[in-house]
Structure 1
Amino acid sequence: MRVDFYQLSRDPAEAALPLIARNVMKVGERLLVVAEDPQQRQRICQALWSLGEDTFLANGMVGEGQEDRQPILLSEATEPLNGAKFMAIADGRWREGDTPFERTFFLFDDATVQHARDTWRMLRSREGVEHFYWKQEGGRWVQAG
């Protein structure tokens, strides 16, 4: 299991997630995006549909039907109804699925940084968990300590 911690400093989750989602799609995987707030999920949905002039990332919300066909599924729960092996937690509140995801992208900001630190320490004590820390630097994501 791999967990990538993304510290949001300049951009909100809805700005960072399309880039993560695009990379997940490039490797042929599906993504579950989890956020408790329905308004945040809606902002993420819009960001995915409008990635660029000629680019969009097809996605759907749990409850709209055909969840199993969605390459990117947005939900408040960690249940991968689309068969995703990758999960992005957009709201800075750690949670896990019944079955561990191969890779989790954990996005957090200044308001949730302490929870992220606690999560880092908790995961560090687990066997078989790789974790990496990313921060924004000059408009790019760089791996940090």
Structure 2
Amino acid sequence: MSEVLFYQLSKFPLERALPTLLEKCLERDWVVTVQFATEERCDAIDAYLWTYSEDGFLPHGTKKEGHPEYQPIYLTTESDNPNEAIVRFLVDRAPLPDPAQYQRVVYMFDGNDQDALQEARKRWVEVKDTGHDLTYWAQTDSGGWDRKA
């Protein structure tokens, strides 16, 4: 059984929230794939992860660099799993894979966008019926996360 986590962005944008969650994954030696809905967003986050912190960066790659099997974090718009990730992040309404393919699936959505919020609710119901462990997290004012369900 997989864990499926829904993270509602409401206080801070993806650019602030995603690196912190990815850092936690790397601390646990988890291999990660992050799937985006568009190439433009994938490219923007790719560039951002190299410079988001003055004292470091997140090691990652995309299809452009090749060798996905060596990437601890792989950014993509496709549904494949070329780095054999055990954790899959879905952002910007990227399609939800079969959670059984991963130990953990993290679905991040913009809670200030009514369409994204409605879609997240629909996906919650779909996953709830599959028997996977399901949790919902909301951002705190400090940028952390509170478990709500």
8 Å CA contact retained: 1:68, 1:81? yes
Structure 1 unaligned blocks of 5 or more: none
The alignment yields a C-alpha RMSD, in angstroms, of 1.7
Shift of 1:16: 1.4
8 Å CA contact retained: 2:33, 2:85? yes
Distance in 2 of aligned mates of 1:84 and 1:52: 24
Shift of 1:137: 1.5
The secondary structure found in structure 1 opposite 2:101 is coil
The secondary structure found in structure 2 opposite 1:61 is coil
8 Å CA contact retained: 2:11, 2:140? no
8 Å CA contact retained: 1:86, 1:102? yes
Distance in 1 of aligned mates of 2:65 and 2:17: 24
8 Å CA contact retained: 2:35, 2:94? no
The secondary structure found in structure 2 opposite 1:60 is coil
Structure 2 unaligned blocks of 5 or more: none
Identity %: 28
- The amino acid that maps onto 2:140 is E
The residue number in structure 1 matching 2:45 is 44
The runs of at least 4 aligned residues of structure 1 exceeding 6 Å deviation read none
Residue of structure 2 aligned with 1:124, choices 122, 125, 128: 128
The residue number in structure 2 matching 1:75 is 76
Shift of 1:117: 0.4
Shift of 1:144: 1.2
Distance in 1 of aligned mates of 2:148 and 2:95: 20
The residue number in structure 1 matching 2:141 is 138
Number of residue pairs matched by the alignment: 144
